[in-house]
Amino acid sequence: MDCKVLNLIWVPSFIDASNNTLYFGGVDGCNYFNPEEVEKLDKEGSLKFTTLKVKNEPINPLLNPNIISENITTVKTITLNHDDFPVNLTFSEMDFRGNKNNSFVYKLLPGNSSWNDLNTGQDLQLIGLSKGTYTLQIQGKTRDKLWQKPPLELIIEVTPPWYTSNLAYSIYLLTFLSVVFAFYRISLQRQIAYQNSKRLQDLDELKSRFITNITHEFRTPLTIILGYLGNLKSRFSNKDEVSTSLETIEQNSNNLLNLVNQMLDLTKLEQGKLSLKLVQNDIASYIEHSVDSFMSIAEDKNIALKFESNPDIIIMDFDAEKIRQIVTNLISNAIKFSSENSMVTITVERQNEEAIVKIKDEGLGIAKDHIPYIFDRFYQIENSTSKISQGTGIGLALTKELVLLLRGNINVASKVNQGTTFTIYLPITNTGESKRIEFEPFHHTIGQTYVPELDELIIPEDTNSVLIVEDNKDMARYIASCLQPHYKVSFAKDGQEGFKKAEENIPDIIITDVMMPVMDGFELTQKLQSATKTNHIPIIMLTSKAMQEDRLEGISSGADAFLTKPFQKEELLIQMQTLIRKRQQLQSSYTFEKLSEKTQQKAPDKNVAFLNHAIEVIQEQIEDSEFNSNELAKALTMSDSQLYRKLKAISDLSTSLFIRKVRLEKSKELLKTTHLSVSEIAYATGFNDPNWFSKAFKEAYAMTPTDYRD
């Protein structure tokens, strides 16, 4: 069978129709094949990745463990950063035949839904991928027919930049929510602040109306009181006692009226209804006159008032009444918070077109953290060291408002325990009417001053004595007027002086105020109760504080009674009578027969302890007939009078009778427990004369020593 080639196309020499086999002639013989079995010539390869390059740099697990964990031929997953592109991957089907007819396709899931041709190439370049996880699939095909084996797969994880990471988005979300919440809070706070501001404004207006109305109501009864006082003074001017009482009432009524006027002025200032009445005159002489009105008060407290002006005459426009109120408030405070033997200096000077007024004291001073608030209305400094009543908190607020009304300014400089300086700056103008100012007499009173002694009355020696510790002289006079002539009265102007006088004089009762300079009533009571000389004295505490916690503090400090101002005279007298009666009842319980019983108690009271100590001292010197009240007082570190008053208050016995009682009690013991004669026992117990001993024994026990022994 011959075979030949025609036009480079193999033409079969023979076709076996029975099995469709074609026969071709060749150099070395005859070739044949069956067209239906051509597919048997194709073979599916085994796909493997062979190299990985990032930015044209080969990647291996040793140098790049963060990208690939094992060899590229076996790795299942690689991790790429967002900036690790371009990435090149090469692969092989591991089929090295020359007559193969293979091509390749790929998918990048989840983005590709169909295969993409690679033609005959065996490498793939990834230009850039966004963050996420991708699956790269590579498959081969032969004669346009996909291989049936599973494709080659590689999982590619692309990490995002930090600003697009899940954590970053969480932070963005939290930041956004925080901003929204902050905006909501700010908006809510603004709404609340607006509502609070409106509510406070309404409340302030209501308060202003209330203050205005009530202060006007105060003025009516005060006017009536002062009017009738004038009538009474004219009728009883020749009676000193009545005249003094009426003057005190008038003075305090004027003080109350002045306070009411200040409240009204402050309300008018807020409402813009307080106007100026400017006159053109010498402000220096006017302020000097105001300073002179405080001379008597300053002298009472041993405070020097000094006025200076440079130049001597300063002609300018000012409202006389407003200047008087300003200067009065500042000088009153300066004197009130200054100690004895200090100085208050008031200076007026002109600098260019300003008048500068300075009020400087050497007093308690103001702490730095309080200074920004001292001009706030009703603001009061809690001063635990001065123990001075702080007033109403209106004066400085009104002072500042008046200075501002005069188109001026006020500053304060202060150091604690060194003093305070208020400086007022007023603009100098000369447009007002030149008018003479009538200098009306000013009457000022300041609570903290010396308490003058009342006129002495002839009172029996055995009358109970009362020490009044009160810094307000009018209140001290009133308390004394309630007590005399039933009690002997003495005074102290503060707690420190009160404690000193109590130790020296041993009064029967002490009446003390709470708020006082130097030492307040609570501290005074505690010191009196802790001192041996004074711990037996009943204490009545008077205060204007009516809160329950104030009463508890007063009682816990050791006070026996607590009265709230204003109090009735009858209430005070009943309290004093009750305390005296109670003391008399206690005296009967401090007999020698009961002292031993009280000593056996777990917590014997302080009076028992004192009496037992006195008895021990006497018994140590029982044989010394020269041991008397002087010697006992020295042994107990007390004066004769102190010991006498304390023993009298506790046991109702004088010092000499107390010593004799101890000697007689010892003699009773010796009469029952020894065989000594009566004379020997008399000498053993400090009696020089046996006859005197027998007489004293019979007076005390209604029987002779011999009868007692039998």
Average predicted confidence (pLDDT) for the chain: 79
**Is residue 452's pLDDT more than 70?**
no
pLDDT more than 70, % of the chain: 76
Neighbours of 341 (CB within 10 A): 10
What's the topology of domain 465-589?
A: Rossmann fold (3.40.50)
3-class SS of residue 418: coil
- Rounded distance between C-alpha atoms, residue 399 and residue 416, angstroms: 22
Q: What is the pLDDT of residue 592?
A: 59
Class of the CATH domain delimited by 275-434: alpha beta
The residue ranges of DSSP E strands in 150-253, in sequence order, are 152-159
CATH number of 592-709: 1.10.10.60
Q: What is the pLDDT of residue 450?
A: 38
- Rounded distance between C-alpha atoms, residue 627 and residue 631, angstroms: 6
- Rounded distance between C-alpha atoms, residue 17 and residue 421, angstroms: 135
The two three-digit tokens of residue 23, written as one number: 């026969």
- Nearby residues of 456 by Cβ (< 8 Å), 6 or more positions away: none
3-class SS of residue 71: coil
**Is-cis flag, bond preceding 86, omega within 30?**
yes
pLDDT 10s digits, 577-592: 888 887 776 666 566 5
* Domain boundaries along the sequence of the chain: 4-41, 48-164, 167-265, 275-434, 465-589, 592-709
**Is residue 388's pLDDT more than 60?**
no
> Looking at 301-315, 505-519, 581-595, which range is the least confident one?
581-595
**Is-cis flag, bond preceding 460, omega within 30?**
no
> Is the CB of residue 647 less than 8 Å from the CB of residue 657?
no
Q: What is the pLDDT of residue 142?
A: 82
pLDDT 10s digits, 10-44: 677 777 777 778 888 777 778 777 777 666 666 77
> Is the CB of residue 636 less than 8 Å from the CB of residue 617?
yes
The two three-digit tokens of residue 364, written as one number: 């308690």
User: pTM, whole model, 2 decimals?
Assistant: 0.51
Q: What is the pLDDT of residue 307?
A: 92
- Nearby residues of 272 by Cβ (< 8 Å), 6 or more positions away: none
> Looking at 65-69, 100-104, 218-222, which range is the least confident one?
218-222
The two three-digit tokens of residue 317, written as one number: 């426009």
- Nearby residues of 206 by Cβ (< 8 Å), 6 or more positions away: none
**Is residue 349's pLDDT more than 90?**
yes
Confidence of residue 292 (pLDDT cuts 50, 70, 90): confident
Q: For 75, how many CA atoms within 13 A lie in the half-sphere containing its CB?
A: 24
- Rounded distance between C-alpha atoms, residue 616 and residue 574, angstroms: 38
Report strand pairing: 465-469 vs 509-513. parallel
Q: For 329, how many CA atoms within 13 A lie in the half-sphere containing its CB?
A: 24
- Rounded distance between C-alpha atoms, residue 285 and residue 417, angstroms: 31
Q: What average pLDDT does the segment 218-236 reach? A: 63
- Rg (Cα) of the chain, in Å, rounded? 55
**Is-cis flag, bond preceding 110, omega within 30?**
yes
CATH number of 48-164: 2.60.40.10
> DSSP readout, 325-394?
HHHHHHHHHHHHT--TT-EEEEEEEEETTEEEEEEE--SS---TTTGGGTTSTT-----TTT------S-
Confidence of residue 644 (pLDDT cuts 50, 70, 90): confident
**Is residue 427's pLDDT more than 90?**
yes
**Is residue 500's pLDDT more than 70?**
yes
Q: What is the pLDDT of residue 453?
A: 46
- Rounded distance between C-alpha atoms, residue 521 and residue 530, angstroms: 14
Q: What average pLDDT does the segment 409-431 reach? A: 91
Say which amino acid occupies 486: H
Report strand pairing: 87-92 vs 102-109. unpaired
